[in-house]
């Protein structure tokens, strides 16, 4: 069995692509490429087809993490059937995804839908702050790196690999 993870943010150029790239890197390091698939999408359509934001690319370059071929896309109704985990970078993204689910008539989504910060309850913050507005990409990287480690543990347990 495979686990499929979709990270969702607003523009799909800053936070969710960072999470996608970091998660893929961690999955590769764990030798689980063939068991876990990762993607990302946005709820807004301003940057469709664009590569990750230069702030995200800079952080990924510094950590030698590939973002090759990644391009912004919109969340689609079919994602609710494809993915097992839909991880929303903030609570607004979660609300928007739930609304889409409702409109799609697929309230019985196969996916577990939750926020990224639920993976890091000790941090005491609800949202991964949007660096598109505040420019704090290094802080987002820290959160993403820690949260992806927690998500990997959770997925490994669900796949009965750990
Ligand atoms: P993201 O950040 O949701 O982390 O990709 C944003 C990117 C673009 C915009 C907003 C947030 N925008 O308004 O274009």
Query: Residues with beta carbon inside 6 Å of ligand 1?
Result: 9-15, 46-47, 130, 132
H or E stretch at 100: helix 91-104
Which residues span the domain enclosing 68?
3-158
- Its pTM surpasses 0.85: yes
What total of structural domains would you count in the chain? 1
Query: Would you say 43 and 117 are in contact if contact means Cβ atoms under 8 Å apart?
Result: no
Q: Is the per-residue pLDDT at 108 higher than 70?
A: no
Q: Given pLDDT bands bounded at 50, 70 and 90, which one contains residue 107?
A: low
Percentage of the chain with pLDDT > 90? 90
What pLDDT was estimated at residue 104?
Answer: 80
Rg of the chain taking only CA atoms, in angstroms:
15
- Rounded distance from Cα 160 to ligand 1 centre (Å): 36
CATH code, domain with 20: 3.40.50.2300
CA distance 126 to 123: 9
- Rounded distance from Cα 44 to ligand 1 centre (Å): 8
Q: pLDDT (tens digit, 9 = 90+) per residue, 4-61? A: 999 999 999 999 999 999 999 999 999 999 999 999 999 999 999 999 999 999 999 9
């Amino acid at each position: 069995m495979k686990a499929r993870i979709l990270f969702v943010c607003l523009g799909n150029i800053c936070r969710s692509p960072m999470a996608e790239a970091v998660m893929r890197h961690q999955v590769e390091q764990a030798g689980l490429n063939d068991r876990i698939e990762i993607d990302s999408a946005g709820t807004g359509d301003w940057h469709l087809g664009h590569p990750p934001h230069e702030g995200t690319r800079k952080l990924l370059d510094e950590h030698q993490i590939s973002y090759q071929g990644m391009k912004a896309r919109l969340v689609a109704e079919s994602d609710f059937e494809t993915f097992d985990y839909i991880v929303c970078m903030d609570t607004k993204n979660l609300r928007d995804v739930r609304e889409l689910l409702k409109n799609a008539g697929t309230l019985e989504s196969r996916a577990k839908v939750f926020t990224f910060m639920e993976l890091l309850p000790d941090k005491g913050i609800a949202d991964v702050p949007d660096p598109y507005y505040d420019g704090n990409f290094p802080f987002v990287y820290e959160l993403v790196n820690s949260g992806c480690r927690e998500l990997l543990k959770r997925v490994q347990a669900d796949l009965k690999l750990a």
